[in-house]
Structure 1
Amino acid sequence: MLFSESWLRRFVNPKLGTEELGHQLTMAGLEVEEIQAAAPAFENVVVGLIAEIAPHPDADRLRVCQVDDGSGTLLQIVCGAPNAAQGIKIPVARVGAELPGGMKIGPVKMRGVESAGMLCSGRELGLSQDHDGLLVLDADAPVGQSLRELLDLDDQIIELKLTPNRADCLSVLGVAREVAALTGEPLTLPDFTPVPVTIDDRVSVTIKDADLCGRFAGRVIRGVNARAKTPDWMKSRLERSGQRSISALVDISNYVMLELGRPTHVFDLQHVQAGLEVRWARKGEQLELLSGLNVELDTDVGVITVNDVPQSMAGIMGGEQSAVTLDTSDVYLEGAFWWPEAIMGRARRYKFSSDASHRFERGVDFDSITPHLERTTALILEICGGQAGPMDDQVVALPERKPVAMRLDRCRRVLGIPLDQKQVESIFTLLGLSFSVNEGVFTVTPPSFRFDLTIEEDLIEEVARIYGFENIPDLPPVAAAEIRVPSETLRGPHALRAVLAAQDYQEVINFSFVQESWEKDINGHADPIRLLNPIASQLAVMRTSLIPGLLANIERNANRRQSRVRVFEFGRVFMRDASQENGPLTVAGIHQPNRIAAAAWGPVYTEQWGQPDRPVDFFDVKRDLETLLGRRAADVRFEPQAHPALHPGRSASVILDGKTIGWIGEIHPQWLSEFGFNQAPVVFELDVDAISYDEVVHAQEISKQPVVQRDLAVWLDKDVSYQAVLDTLNKVRSSAEQAAIVKDIQLFDVWRDKNDASEKSLAIRFWLQDSATTLDDERVEQCLQVLLAALVSAHGARARA
């Protein structure tokens, strides 16, 4: 919100400088975002009167002016402005003046004629962009007076950054109330004296929907001069508040809104004299707004109608049909209380905003409608003339101002300062709050302009603001020191991220809402969770997997000529689950587990001389996945299984402790063309909860005995997987005493006979060691025979010669 300091000081004038005032407001919760001068710096520019004017003897476009600058001697100044004329008052930069941009004024000769000074335009003084002629001042401006003093150019413009709950400060009066409470200075209110009623004209108003409009007031004013000039003081305040001057009637309405926080609307009486009706819009109704935008109204949007035709979008913007023009002579002035819930979000729905909706959706004072309309009427009569009719005021339903209790002891505990009852009474009095005290409990009835005071903590905040956050001592809390030992088994999100980052993956963060086609086609979910109000049409459902988002990341990088991409994401997915109940961090019917997923595409390594260039494959990413699992990698099984996003022959489910915790594999060939990939990315996705706990490390004595390596090659049926072979060998290790010396098992070769595709040969290496004695050949041979016998029994293996 923008306003000028001089306007604020007409309501309350504390003995504070501009910077001190801004600091006070900021510390009270009304953040001052910027303070800037109303005009650029210049000096020695005064009001001048062109007493005489004559053509320049040697230049058609120049004229010689005799200017009275109040010094008692006429200045001769050569001027080329087209609007220079005898008798007008204009800014005069005397000799020695310095204008914005560093221009210094001195005596010069222009085509042989002496010129002692300069007559200025608004642009030359930095007051406007008008460079078509001189800045013409009011006829009553005192000659010789400093222009800065005349136009109040030493004023400062203050910009506040308000939180949404402080709608009462969306006006100069509201800010002035805060300044008066903070400084204790008296508050001067505008004149709300009712204007004389000289005509008896009325417009009938019917409020059909009390949940839309709680109070509606208005009056007829006849004989106004809509072409009247907006006073300079009003125009200046509007401009310094970010409003451009439009016409007198519109300017007055905007001025009162900025001054008092009261949005009003002025109708052309000839279009509304048949009577107004306030109701919700009906399906199919349309309205052309003052902005020129044609909108089709929804049934939850309020309207003001005449003869059942919408004339205004209630509390948001008036309609073009009933708008005042420069030819308007009779008007109907309206002010109302619109329920905030009836205004919230409506303007944004139609992709625009208005000052009125910005205030009404936050809550506008419902008790001062008629005084504010009296103020507006007085300004209209003063500037535009006319005769006012009686004030009609209908009260249908107003907010109940429920008392709010605040315990003094509770206030002391929260703020940590020993406040006494008198201090709190003084603060509430300064804030204009009506209260009573009973045994240390303050009961406050919030005023009609404070919609933000509803609970005890709100009143404690008010006490803290006025007491001064700077006056609350900065004391560290005193508490017993408790050393928290980090868990040896827990692997938190940062630890998991660090492992993948160390594997050359970069973290990405994608939207939780995705394209519906991704869910149905890539993830195989026909009924994803749909968003009620998506931020974009293509982001319509909640994701059930992180993989499509990673594919989109790769696609975006590939389209920008990146040849190697390795990305991962840690985030939630959202799935329907009827067993899920409401809780502090859960929503009934929706399961929201954390997942971690990674994708690799392009060469295994960046281009270099030491490694051959080859594309990343399943086993490269499987190694990264096992690194992520840490010590649990030995307990993980990979079993071939189909997934709609993955290649059916190059993908597997990841199983830990008998449960499927994720997937790994190449992307299905169908999606390569969909995303435009020239090779298949390899991806994996795991359930975070399943891998967030690791086994505790148990120290074991290192054997001093030598390790023996032996290889065993066997023929097996082509359909027997290595995982099944490994399971059999591990089972023998744990059950047979002779095989207990096996410390590690690794597959190092797979061979198939081209002439017989029914079998395959697996070459397996064993590392054998005993912690107590050196192994002899007989014991090693016994161990291998036990292992081979197990393979023969379980899988029909036979030793390869």
Structure 2
Amino acid sequence: MKFSENWLRELVEITADRDALARALTMAGLEVEDVTPLGESLHGVVVAQIVAAEKHPEADRLQICKVDAGQGVLLQIVCGAPNARVGIKVPLATVGANLPGGIAIKAAKLRGVESTGMLCSARELGIDADASGLLELPAEAPVGQSLADYLGLPDASFELSITPNRSDCLSLHGLAYDVAALFGSAAKLPEQSPALVTSASRRGIRLEAGKDAPRYLGRIVEGIDPAARTPLWLIERLRRSGLRPISAVVDITNYVMLELGQPLHAFDNDILQGDIVVRHAGTSETLMLLDGNEAKLDEGFVLIADEHKALAVAGVMGGFDSRVTDTTRNIFLESAHFAPAAIMGRARKLGLHTEASHRFERGVDPQLPQRALERATELLLAIAGGNAGPVLLAENRADLTPPAAVGLRRARLQRVLGVSVGDAEVARIFTALGMQVEVTADGWQITAPSSRFDIEREEDLIEEVARIFGYDNIPTLSPAGALALAVEPEARINELALREQLAARGYYEAVNLSFVAADLLASWGFTERLVSLANPLSADLAVMRPSLLPGLIETLRHNRARQQERVRLFEVARVFHQFGAVREDPEAHQQAGDPPVEIPSLAIVACGNARAEQWGEPSRMLDFHDLKGELDALIAWGGEPQRWSVHADDLPGWLHPGRGARVARDGETVGYLGALHPQLAKALDLGADVHVLELALDPLLARRLPHAQAVPRFPVVRRDIAMDLPEIVSWSQIEQLVRRTLGERLKELRLFDRYSGKGVEAGRKSLAMGLILQDASRTLTDDDADRCVREAVAALEQTCKAKLRG
């Protein structure tokens, strides 16, 4: 938001200099990003007129101009501006003047010709960035007058960073209320009287967009002068507010938007056919916009249309075909209120950001359209003439909720601020801000104006008092009181400790965005239960990640592209899936309104050598068992490794079918482990040595509560057996089966040999395992041990088609 300091001072009395004003605005939450002084050093710069001009005999691009500066004699000026010509009035820096930037004007010779002064561009005067030619002044500019006096200089252009909740401050009138409250004055805002109606021209208006467009006003103005020039005072206010003058009609709508905060738009009335219809766009409807680009619309857009065609995207930009041109004599002026939710994100979806959308998506006062329409009509009739028709109004009052009164308790205000603010000061603050104040027994009832969308609850009123009363006036005190210490649950491993453990094992933590591209997920095979964003920052950030691995692999690729061959990364974050409840039918989710579910997860990616380069052992590439070892170390931390198992079935498509595994806890799948599928690795331009691990975090952080117990009094007994089994039977299946069969008698099961080859049938393998047996109440006999062996062998033979080897 840019504005002219002089313009603001006309609307409210400010008893402070420029620096104090800037600081007061910033401390009140209206951050001043930049202050650009304008016309600070223009002594000796006057309005002059070129009365004669001829080509310089020694330079093609220079002209010798005779200039009338009101001194009784013509001055000779050598000028190289392309627009220098007889008859125009321009600024003249006379001899002795000092321009912004330290330029001192002296009499000089240019290519042998005397020059007594300099004709100036707006940039040379420090009032604009335009350096394309001389600053042309209106024909009525008085020759010889000080340019500073004529243009209302010096001035300054303030640029504010307005937070989204303060849309009321996107106008000079809105700012005036805050400034009045800050400096103890009152906003001097003139009353707006209705324009004189001298035409009966009307046009019907139909509202068909429901609550998205509850109020629409329009007016036909006939017979305007299309060649009318925007007056200098209005051009300068636009220029100092960061807007370029275009034409009288457009300049007026922009001026009213800056002054009141209400965006307006003018259509060529002769092009409109029938009624104005405010409706939603149809599927795949298109419209050529004012910038010449074709907008592809959907049902989420609100359109302004007539009975045959679309005219404008509501709250964003007008259409090209219905625009006001240099030949337009009859216009239809619109002023409407659109719901912020209906405009929010629509401009960004079209790749645009307009002044209108910036205001509408934050909220514009629903009571403002008629006042803005009357103000624009007043200026239009004064500048371009014409005959104004009656105000045409269509509205759905049920969708226009009036502001409600909000209570503010005196005790609550003092408790939150830590300082007592007098009742009179509180009433003054809210009155200066344009709010209605009613005193109650315990405080006040405050009714905010309809422009203050941010006033909803008591805390909002306390914030208003704090920022206007001044944060500097609120004492800085240390909080007092006892803080309750959080008790760390013993049954859960601390997440920070997990990160430290992984870092100690040589992994670097990565932090990636929660958004990924849909095509990247498709290459991984993630196509179901995705959480898509309605208003993504870009196409590459359109979907909430269903897995940490795609983003983490992209980070690995980024590192490998920078000559990092051995990469170890991990990430602890959340993944997102559509629907929180478990249902068979996806449509049932939508009907039930199930929200997306967030799952805390851990992901690890690694590639390159298994160990860092060293002399003590030969180098080898990382393999499945290295990452399986990392998993085992993390599982052992929880103290219940027997509840975990690893299986080679039901693998996702992104895992290598022969070098991947499914990780389960208590039989329920909690993650996957292994090498990436070769096709995916090739598509992502990765090597074949990339291994990954992804687990749900909560099962991994669960820990068995420690408890003390006596050292076993009775010895252990070991029995070794070798079993001939089918190749497809995994060690996890064997271990789980033997543990279930022997129960508490089995303290440990050790696999110490695997053999396949001569003496073992093809498709089978021989596993040698040690059964470590112990009883807490007595010493096991040989018969007890042999019975355990027989039970284990029988279970393996029955379930796993195993045979005991001799």
TM over 0.5: yes
Q: Which residue of 617, 623, 628 corresponds with 1:622?
A: 628
User: Does residue 1:2 correspond to 2:2, yes or no?
Assistant: yes
Aligned to 1:271: 271
Aligned to 1:565: 567
Distance change >3 Å, CA 145–CA 597, structure 1 → 2: same
Q: Is the deviation greater in 562-571 or in 102-111?
A: 102-111
Cα deviation 1:292-315 (Å, max 9, x = unaligned): 333455445444443443333344
Q: Is the deviation greater in 635-644 or in 714-723?
A: 714-723
1:711 and 1:766 in contact (8 A); partners too? yes
Tell me how far 1:128 sits from its aligned partner.
5.2
Tell me how far 1:246 sits from its aligned partner.
1.1
1:629 alignment partner, SS class: helix
1:204 and 1:275 in contact (8 A); partners too? yes
Cα deviation 1:398-420 (Å, max 9, x = unaligned): 62324323141333333333344
2: CA distance, partners of 1:517 / 1:73: 75
2: CA distance, partners of 1:668 / 1:60: 72
Distance change >3 Å, CA 677–CA 84, structure 1 → 2: closer
Aligned to 1:690: 699
Q: Is the deviation greater in 309-318 or in 377-386?
A: 309-318
Distance change >3 Å, CA 428–CA 787, structure 1 → 2: same
User: Does residue 1:531 correspond to 2:532, yes or no?
Assistant: yes
Residue type of the alignment partner of 2:620: R
1: CA distance, partners of 2:56 / 2:658: 96
Distance change >3 Å, CA 39–CA 629, structure 1 → 2: farther
1:401 and 1:446 in contact (8 A); partners too? no
Residue type of the alignment partner of 1:467: F
2:3 alignment partner, SS class: strand
Cα deviation 1:501-526 (Å, max 9, x = unaligned): 22222333455566779889967x88
Residue type of the alignment partner of 2:135: L
Q: Is the deviation greater in 240-249 or in 96-105?
A: 96-105
Residue type of the alignment partner of 1:663: Y
Residue type of the alignment partner of 1:389: G
2: CA distance, partners of 1:463 / 1:601: 59
User: Does residue 1:681 correspond to 2:687, yes or no?
Assistant: no
Distance change >3 Å, CA 788–CA 553, structure 1 → 2: farther
2: CA distance, partners of 1:594 / 1:156: 52
1:208 and 1:277 in contact (8 A); partners too? yes
Distance change >3 Å, CA 356–CA 422, structure 1 → 2: same
1:276 and 1:304 in contact (8 A); partners too? yes
1: CA distance, partners of 2:710 / 2:116: 103
Map 1:534-613 to 2 at 5 A.
535=536, 544-555=546-557, 557-558=559-560, 562-573=564-575, 574=577, 576=579, 578=581, 588=594, 591-613=597-619
Aligned to 1:453: 455
Q: Is the deviation greater in 48-57 or in 201-210?
A: 48-57
Instruction: Specify every segment of 5 or more residues in structure 1 that has no aligned partner in the other structure, as ranges.
Output: 581-585, 769-778
Residue type of the alignment partner of 2:566: R
Aligned to 2:335: 335
Aligned to 2:187: 187
Aligned to 1:717: 724
Tell me how far 1:432 sits from its aligned partner.
1.8
Aligned to 2:309: 309
Aligned to 2:200: 201
Cα deviation 1:196-250 (Å, max 9, x = unaligned): 33x2322132334363544443333333212111122211221222221111111
1:728 and 1:790 in contact (8 A); partners too? no
Residue type of the alignment partner of 2:269: L
Aligned to 1:319: 319
Distance change >3 Å, CA 687–CA 390, structure 1 → 2: closer
Distance change >3 Å, CA 129–CA 567, structure 1 → 2: same
Tell me how far 1:101 sits from its aligned partner.
5.3
2: CA distance, partners of 1:278 / 1:47: 49
Map 1:504-515 to 2 at 5 A.
504-510=506-512, 512=514
Residue type of the alignment partner of 2:504: A
1: CA distance, partners of 2:400 / 2:37: 41
Map 1:337-486 to 2 at 5 A.
337-397=337-397, 399-408=400-409, 409-484=411-486, 486=488
1:371 alignment partner, SS class: helix
1:188 alignment partner, SS class: coil
Tell me how far 1:74 sits from its aligned partner.
6.4
Aligned to 1:640: 647
Q: Which residue of 674, 687, 691 corresponds with 1:665?
A: 674
Instruction: Report the TM-score, using the length of structure 1 for normalisation.
Output: 0.82
Distance change >3 Å, CA 515–CA 643, structure 1 → 2: farther
Q: Is the deviation greater in 180-189 or in 332-341?
A: 332-341
1:403 alignment partner, SS class: coil
1:20 alignment partner, SS class: helix
1:412 and 1:419 in contact (8 A); partners too? yes
Tell me how far 1:379 sits from its aligned partner.
1.2
1: CA distance, partners of 2:114 / 2:452: 64
2:186 and 2:432 in contact (8 A); partners too? no
2:345 and 2:535 in contact (8 A); partners too? no
Aligned-CA RMSD value? 4.5
Distance change >3 Å, CA 148–CA 608, structure 1 → 2: farther
Instruction: Specify every segment of 5 or more residues in structure 2 that has no aligned partner in the other structure, as ranges.
Output: 584-591, 795-801
Residue type of the alignment partner of 1:456: E
Tell me how far 1:596 sits from its aligned partner.
1.0
Tell me how far 1:78 sits from its aligned partner.
3.6
Cα deviation 1:460-503 (Å, max 9, x = unaligned): 32222322233222222211254555455532222212222222
2:273 and 2:308 in contact (8 A); partners too? no
2:40 and 2:155 in contact (8 A); partners too? no
Q: Is the deviation greater in 528-537 or in 607-616?
A: 528-537
Tell me how far 1:382 sits from its aligned partner.
1.9
User: Does residue 1:33 correspond to 2:40, yes or no?
Assistant: no
Residue type of the alignment partner of 1:578: A
Tell me how far 1:61 sits from its aligned partner.
6.0
Distance change >3 Å, CA 631–CA 276, structure 1 → 2: closer
1:10 alignment partner, SS class: helix
Q: Is the deviation greater in 267-276 or in 20-29?
A: 267-276
Cα deviation 1:119-146 (Å, max 9, x = unaligned): 3334544555655654343455455555
Cα deviation 1:154-212 (Å, max 9, x = unaligned): 32211222222222211111111211122122322246233433x23221323343635
Distance change >3 Å, CA 201–CA 492, structure 1 → 2: same
Distance change >3 Å, CA 663–CA 134, structure 1 → 2: closer
2: CA distance, partners of 1:266 / 1:763: 87
Distance change >3 Å, CA 643–CA 563, structure 1 → 2: farther
1:749 and 1:764 in contact (8 A); partners too? no
1: CA distance, partners of 2:68 / 2:460: 61
2:532 alignment partner, SS class: coil
Residue type of the alignment partner of 2:171: S
Residue type of the alignment partner of 1:260: L
Tell me how far 1:538 sits from its aligned partner.
8.0
1:211 alignment partner, SS class: helix
